[in-house]
Structure 1
Amino acid sequence: MKLTLALAVLLLVAACGTDTADTVTDPATDPADSRSTAATPGAVSTGSIPPWVHGEVSTRTLATVMDTGDPELCLGPVAESYPPQCRGIPLKGWDWADQHGRFETSGDVRWGLFKVTGTFDGTTMTVSGAIPEEVYDALRDPERPEEPLPSGDAGLAGPQQQEIQRKVEAHPLPGTLSVYATPAAVVVEVVHDDGSLQEQVDAAYGAGVVEVRSMLVPVIY
């Protein structure tokens, strides 16, 4: 009986280790089943953040300048810790001495809220000016868009908007900071859009379905 059982086990092991026509292949690992993101419906190609080459840009409104060794401009969410935490784009030409008494410190960390102006090459912002929170007047800010939410924005987003949000998150635009769905549109906040990112999502999802909001905007003279 023991000998018969041992032989049965050996035969089972040999069968499991043999490739046959009945072998099942996991589709997720089958090279023939691999798909590129470009072939996915609604996919948007990713790449570099578009630079602004036609003069200066500024932050949409006040933004956090964070310095834990090198100054960065945080255009997205900021963790409400002490000191706060965030990651942003590098700032070139930032001098804290120009903002004496208008920022906070904790150890070697320095930070403050500023409306920052400069040029943007797609990676780094070179600073030409900054208005601290203490003297910033949003009502007199020519670059601050009034931007009411799209019509029908009140309430919860429906399944269609939520599905589009998932697709946008799966294929993020360059410089994406946040994505959220409203009943009217899926809103994507990005570091900077020169109009090309909006054209991409319009082509992928249809006009008015996804709204791209650039956190860096052209300076109005």
Structure 2
Amino acid sequence: MRHVGWIVAAPVAALLLAACGDEGAPVSASPSDAPPSADPGQAYTGFFTVLENAEHGPQLCSTVLESHPPQCGGPDVLGWNWDEAPDAETANGVTWGYYSVTGTWDGSALTLTEPPLPGAATSPMVPDDAVPDLTSPCEPPAGGWAVVDAATATQAALDAALAHAASRPDYAGAWVDQSINPATDEAAMNDPTKLVLNVRFTGDLEQHEADLRAIWGGALCVSAAEHTEQELLAIQEDVLTELGELASGAGTDPTTGTVSVDVFVDDGLQERLDQQYGGVVIVHAALRPVD
């Protein structure tokens, strides 16, 4: 697994722990026909918390609020029987559990075709490609990444550099590469003298690096991006507006210059968005087709 650091959202007062470009200018979204209906005979599988309460029957959770009992909402699961669901918990009128589910998808609900399996026992390890690659794209300087000015290699200077970068109209995002820090405990991993600040812009990189160097004395990598953060956020908003309830979440990734969108089923959606946005939008489907 890769060494995980932070992706930075702006404007910034602190660093945020990471959760989620292509050539050409961003393409504006335009209204389009609804996605085609799913193949009624195609089976899909995935791992979900399934929850039922007084307001609704069993549903696949898109986001789980970690209260007790938990709270969530999502598509209905048809054909669900809690007697066939191992390790279910019940509290205050809420029943839930984490499962591997398999069934057919009609565009709004999953109909089970197999009994659920306990998710904790069957879910795979998180693959490397699910973790953001926070490696600095710049070549390390001679002698390796190091502090240039100890007086300005502080958390306050880091915050000031991030705030300055985010105020530039061609700002494209920022993240922290902690791969040069051998520490494993959280406090030591946050040492500002043992990280590389990565900032991306679409404009004059030399000027931006000089401006940031006047503020930040730690290791620094300034690199080029195809799209500004505001352009990516505009695409994200357009996609969420277009998909409506078909999307369960979205985000921007400055390390790749892309927008990610979470859906339950990719029924030709990636291909359609590729045509519309030129590869800037990446679809993540929670339900995968069963061969």
* TM-score computed with the length of structure 1 as normaliser: 0.66
Contact 1:50–1:192 (CA under 8 A) maintained in structure 2: no
Letter in 2 for 1:198: Q
Unaligned runs of 5+ in 1: 1-39, 140-144
Pair 1:203-2:190 in alignment: no
Contact 2:48–2:119 (CA under 8 A) maintained in structure 1: no
Letter in 1 for 2:98: L
The DSSP-based 3-state class of the residue aligned with 2:275 is helix
**Aligned residues: percent identity?**
31
Q: How does 1:181-196 map to 2 (within 5 A)?
A: 181-182=252-253, 183-184=255-256, 185-195=258-268
Q: How does 1:51-200 map to 2 (within 5 A)?
A: 51-59=38-46, 62-69=47-54, 70-74=57-61, 76-100=62-86, 102-129=87-114, 130-138=116-124, 146=127, 148-149=129-130, 156=175, 158=200, 160-172=228-240, 173-174=243-244, 175-182=246-253, 183-184=255-256, 185-195=258-268, 197-200=269-272
Note the alpha carbon deviations across 1:35-88, whole angstroms, 9 max, x for none: xxxxx82346373684243421011xx3110101411111x2211111111111
Contact 1:49–1:123 (CA under 8 A) maintained in structure 2: no
Contact 2:45–2:287 (CA under 8 A) maintained in structure 1: yes
Match of 2:159 in 1: none
User: RMSD over aligned Cα, in angstroms?
Assistant: 2.8
Match of 1:24 in 2: none
Unaligned runs of 5+ in 2: 1-26, 136-173, 176-198, 201-226
Alpha-carbon separation, structure 1, partners of 2:28 and 2:289: 32
Q: 1:163 to 1:149 in 2, by over 3 A?
A: farther
Letter in 1 for 2:60: L
Aligned residues: 170
TM-superposed CA distance for 1:146, in Å, is: 4.0
The DSSP-based 3-state class of the residue aligned with 1:57 is strand
The DSSP-based 3-state class of the residue aligned with 2:263 is strand
Note the alpha carbon deviations across 1:90-140, whole angstroms, 9 max, x for none: 11110001125x01111221000001101111111111221113432525x
Alpha-carbon separation, structure 2, partners of 1:80 and 1:111: 12
Please say which structure displays the higher CA radius of gyration.
1
Q: 1:137 to 1:90 in 2, by over 3 A?
A: closer
